[in-house]
Structure 1
């Protein structure tokens, strides 16, 4: 997923060469902080974060669904 709060993203933007603004499959772009907030709001726990080896302006996150506790 594109990470709009990283240095590579800012360099691409500064050079007006950021491909992620025009790609339909990347209609929404997130910072790591905002993505984690959204995941937690919807019952997911982030487990692992890394910068994509293939796409340096992107992040890879592994998360798990937090089990709900029944009364």
Structure 2
């Protein structure tokens, strides 16, 4: 009977080791997600922001033109 108990314990430990190894290998097998593409900036909005930043247009005009461009 003690031999059977020792065999069951060894078998259980082997199963735990196998599950751990398989899980670790599966985690490494997954490909990395593709990197996000940088958002492309609208050159027209960039120009509008530049004009607002240097004071060429006021806030109201900036906001109105921005709304118009984003429609």
TM-score by length of 1: 0.20
Structure with higher RCO (Cα < 8 A, 6+ apart) = 1
Tell me which protein shows more strand as a share of its residues.
Answer: 1
Task: Please identify which structure carries the higher helix content.
Answer: 2
Please identify the structure whose Cα radius of gyration is greater.
2
TM-score, length-normalised on structure 2?
Answer: 0.20
